[in-house]
Amino acid sequence: NHDLDVTSAARNWRVDAAAAPTPAQVVGELFARDVLTLEELKARISKPEYGSLRATLERGERLDPRIADTVALAMKTWAMERGATHYTHWFQPLTGATAEKHDSFVSPNGDGLAIATFSGKELIQAEPDASSFPSGGLRATFEARGYTAWDPSSPAFIIRHANGATLCIPAVFASWTGEALDLKTPLLRSMEALNQAVTPVLRLFGASAGTRVVSTVGAEQEYFLIAEEYFYRRPDLVTTGRTLFGTRPPRGQELEDHYFGEIPDRVLSFMTDAEMQLYALGIPVKTRHKEVAPGQFEIAPIFETGNVAADHQQLLMQVLRNTARRYGLVCLMHEKPFAGVNGSGKHCNWSMGTDAGENLFEPGDTPHENLQFLFFCAAVLKAVDEHQDLLRVSVAGASNDHRLGANEAPPAILSIFLGSELSDIFSRLESGQGGRGPEAGLLGLGSSVLPPIPRHAGDRNRTSPFAFTGNKFEFRAVGSSQSISFPITVLNTIVADAVQTLTTELEARLSRGLALDEAVGEIVRGTYSAHRRIVFGGDGYSAEWHREAEEERGLLNLRTSIDAIRHLNDEKNLRLFGRFGVLSERELAARQEILYDIYFKTVNIEGETTEAVAQTMILPAAVDYLVDLGQAGGSRAVRSTLAEVEAAADELYGALQLLREQNRALGGDEAHEKAHHVRDHVLPAMDGVRQAADRLEKLVADRHWPLPTYRQMLFVK
Ligand code: ADP
Ligand code: MG
């Protein structure tokens, strides 16, 4: 009995409360305990060595190989003091997961004994081979080896497990020909592109020389928790991360009593445990709460520099998954684990900041600050409008398709929500209104009447895929299971592009003798006019918006990921990524191939799993019940139930034959052909099977039903 199992799991999670750190310890000792911070490293190497390392970190200078040995020694000592027996280059292959190949510090010393070693060479570079990672053709077998290289911009850290710990050295992953085989390399390149593009215009606005610009990112992670017992009884959850069967629960989220509701003890204990580990890793998690759906929760950190945030996001998912198990729970990161129930996203809050800590999307107090603010906002409008396709590709994936465009998540159509105050300012600027009398100088609004731009604008539009939220933009289409690296790479690059173009226009006006405020005014006005179609403040879910967006505004509606992936290497995008050196033509082609391939594999596994579960679990349950009914005599209740079950079982059988055929067919040899095949034929066939199976779930006796139901899985406390 499934209900009884769960009670036992609920009883078995209790952990040693005495082992939990005190609040004072959390603040004083725990935070970043397992991170090799610069402070920590500084104390362990000489001053000149530290200076040389900083030059590498801050100015991107090549690391002096002589100091690599010293740094490696310091790292090894630090890690061993914390119980590490192994080290690994920790990297982000194109699968979207993280990868590690551990090597022990232990080396034989030749006398039958062993010593601990870790050299500068091993720190800087490793050759994990790793030939099974997708490379999209970038690694022909004759140039097969891939290597990882230390990324000193992200600190090394320790991952603990029950029997010890491992030193993790953040790394990039590339082919011998120098092509990026990972998500991190282009992200780092895009950070540099953004810096290069934004600093010149900041100088025009008066920033001091040497100012650097980074993107800042805070990603809100949504996830589900279900009891472990249920998980293992659902082959669909185990192999695909989502339920391929199941009728929606009697008490769905319609009641919305879950959102921000009280958090059950077991879940809160899990969250706290996970947070302590995240603190130890220096991950500044801040917020936790229940989400809209039953069994759904959210955790959000304080924002950090883009590439560090991306590393931390991957670690956060890993820690949540691992920790849940200690509480008899399984953490589901899939975008749509339960049909008919709210899905999970990962809102990516994105902004640009200077190394002095200035947020470039923070409206200022002075008209001058607001000039700069409006200039950058205009650049974002331009970037998002011109590269709707890229933003859509950056969140592509079979699992996210169940969310985007469904009636609860942002639609697949990109648009920007500005909030009423900012929209108002832009439209007044455009129409030249707002100026009062002859003083109407600045931006045509008159400096004295330039409306103060409200900080943290109050109104939120939850249906918008891309929203200005007071001092940052929130990209909401990112899926809960995804790496945020590519979405940030795209954001950085498209904004770099728009800023650069607008800067050229600005410089041209200035050299014609226009004052800065007039010149910026013209550019903001012109950019808004040209890209106003991307601004939308209404209901993004409505049918009316879909019609208006496509027919009147000509916005892209790339409904499925397959529609979007096609655009990745359009001429426009090749030029864009090439110009900033973020991704070469070959690197882009490889990524497109991999996106198709992963899409195909994901749906292919789902198709096969649907077939197996329907054939070996659901059909037999229906047959067993038919046997029971056949022996139950001829009452009206029995006869009519039997007829209904028989009809549904036949329907299931028929749908199953169709699915079987589609699972065998491939549609072609190329990755894109296979991806199209599974989208157009396998997904609909799976749907047919599911419909019949879900009908059976409502008919077949509970004692025969082989799968834990939504009701059971979603309402665990
Ligand atoms: P709310 O959206 O409810 O106002 P916050 O403003 O605190 O909440 O932010 C939500 C998320 O946005 C958090 O992860 C936060 O770290 C992130 N965030 C806040 N400011 C920035 C910024 N300048 N750049 C990137 N992310 C940010
Ligand atoms: Mg949220």
Give the per-residue SS3 of 366-386: CHHHHHHHHHHHHHHHHHHHH
Structural tokens at position 91: 């990297």
Indicate if 571 and 638 belong to the same structural domain. Answer: no
Indicate if 657 and 691 belong to the same structural domain. Answer: yes
Does the CB atom of residue 217 touch ligand 1 within 6 A? Answer: yes
Domain containing 72 equals 31-182
Tell me the one-letter amino acid at 260: F
CA of 345 to the centre of ligand 2 (A): 8
For residue 441, the SS3 value is coil
CA distance 613 to 235: 7
> In this structure, which residues have their CB less than 5 angstroms from ion ligand 2?
220
Does the CB atom of residue 351 touch ligand 1 within 6 A? Answer: yes
CATH of the domain at 134: 3.10.20.70
Structural tokens at position 236: 């669909």
Q: Do 329 and 321 meet the contact criterion of CB atoms below 8 Å apart?
A: no
Q: Do 500 and 197 meet the contact criterion of CB atoms below 8 Å apart?
A: yes
| Of 656, 629, 717, residue with least CA distance to 245 | 656
- Partners of 114 in the beta sheet? 108
Give the single-character DSSP code of 198: H
Complex confidence, ipTM? 0.96
CA distance 705 to 696: 9
Residue 21 in any domain: the answer is: no
Structural tokens at position 610: 């649907």
Structural tokens at position 1: 């009995």
CA of 221 to the centre of ligand 1 (A): 13
Does the CB atom of residue 313 touch ligand 1 within 6 A? Answer: no
CA of 474 to the centre of ligand 1 (A): 8
For residue 508, the SS3 value is helix
Does the CB atom of residue 302 touch ligand 1 within 6 A? Answer: yes
CA of 465 to the centre of ligand 1 (A): 16
Number of the ligand closest to the Cα of 298: 2
Indicate if 176 and 259 belong to the same structural domain. Answer: no
CA of 284 to the centre of ligand 1 (A): 12
CA distance 100 to 473: 33
Query: What's the pLDDT score for residue 636?
Result: 95
CATH of the domain at 703: 1.20.120.1560
Indicate if 400 and 451 belong to the same structural domain. Answer: yes
Indicate if 292 and 405 belong to the same structural domain. Answer: yes
Give the single-character DSSP code of 616: I
- The residue whose two tokens read 């709460």 is 289
Indicate if 49 and 170 belong to the same structural domain. Answer: yes
Residue 3 in any domain: the answer is: no
Number of the ligand closest to the Cα of 480: 2
Indicate if 223 and 78 belong to the same structural domain. Answer: no
Atom in ligand 1 nearest the alpha carbon of residue 471: 23
Query: What's the pLDDT score for residue 4?
Result: 54
Indicate if 233 and 118 belong to the same structural domain. Answer: no
Residue 317 in any domain: the answer is: yes
Query: What's the pLDDT score for residue 10?
Result: 58
Residue 494 in any domain: the answer is: yes
Q: Give the dihedral sign, CA 361/365/370/372.
A: negative
Atom in ligand 1 nearest the alpha carbon of residue 361: 23
How many degrees, rounded to 5, is the angle at CA 248 between CA 244 and CA 249? 130
Residue 440 in any domain: the answer is: yes
Q: Which residues of 611-629 are buried (b: 16+ CB within 10 A; e: fewer)?
A: bebbbebbbebbeebbebb
Residue 38 in any domain: the answer is: yes
Query: What's the pLDDT score for residue 297?
Result: 95
Structural tokens at position 549: 């967006």
Tell me the one-letter amino acid at 380: V
Going by alpha carbons, the residue nearest to atom 8 of ligand 1 is 469
CA distance 97 to 90: 11
Does the CB atom of residue 218 touch ligand 1 within 6 A? Answer: yes
Indicate if 127 and 197 belong to the same structural domain. Answer: no
User: Taking the mean position of all CA atoms in its chain, how far away is CA 383?
Assistant: 20
**Of how many residues is the chain composed?**
717
Query: What's the pLDDT score for residue 101?
Result: 87
CA distance 93 to 594: 11
| Of 177, 223, 135, residue with least CA distance to 597 | 135
Query: What's the pLDDT score for residue 446?
Result: 43
CA distance 576 to 130: 30
CA distance 207 to 402: 45
Residue 98 in any domain: the answer is: yes
Atom in ligand 1 nearest the alpha carbon of residue 350: 25
Low-confidence ranges of the chain (pLDDT < 50): 1, 141-142, 253-254, 434-450
CA of 292 to the centre of ligand 2 (A): 9
Contacts of 548 (CB under 8 A, 6+ apart): none
Q: Do 127 and 139 meet the contact criterion of CB atoms below 8 Å apart?
A: no
For residue 666, the SS3 value is coil
Contacts of 690 (CB under 8 A, 6+ apart): 244, 245, 339, 610
Indicate if 621 and 548 belong to the same structural domain. Answer: no
Burial class (CB in 10 A: 0-12, 13-18, 19+), 35: middle
Query: What's the pLDDT score for residue 439?
Result: 38
Residue 115 in any domain: the answer is: yes
Tell me the one-letter amino acid at 613: V
The phi-psi region of residue 527 (left if phi > 0; otherwise alpha if psi is between -120 and 50; otherwise beta) is: alpha
Going by alpha carbons, the residue nearest to atom 2 of ligand 1 is 469
Could you give the number of structural domains in the chain? 3
Number of the ligand closest to the Cα of 348: 1
CA distance 99 to 91: 5
Indicate if 299 and 217 belong to the same structural domain. Answer: yes
> CA of 407: how far to CAs of 388, 403, 508, 529, 570, in Å?
20, 8, 46, 30, 30
CA of 302 to the centre of ligand 1 (A): 7
Indicate if 602 and 538 belong to the same structural domain. Answer: no
CATH of the domain at 230: 3.30.590.10
Using H for helix, E for strand and C for coil, what is the string for 302-335? CCEEHHHHHHHHHHHHHHHHHHHHHCCEEEECCC
Query: What's the pLDDT score for residue 110?
Result: 85
Structural tokens at position 374: 């409006």
User: Taking the mean position of all CA atoms in its chain, how far away is CA 237?
Assistant: 20
pTM of the model: 0.93
Query: What's the pLDDT score for residue 437?
Result: 37
Give the single-character DSSP code of 433: T
Helix ranges (DSSP H) in 532-635: 543-547, 561-565, 571-579, 585-613, 619-630
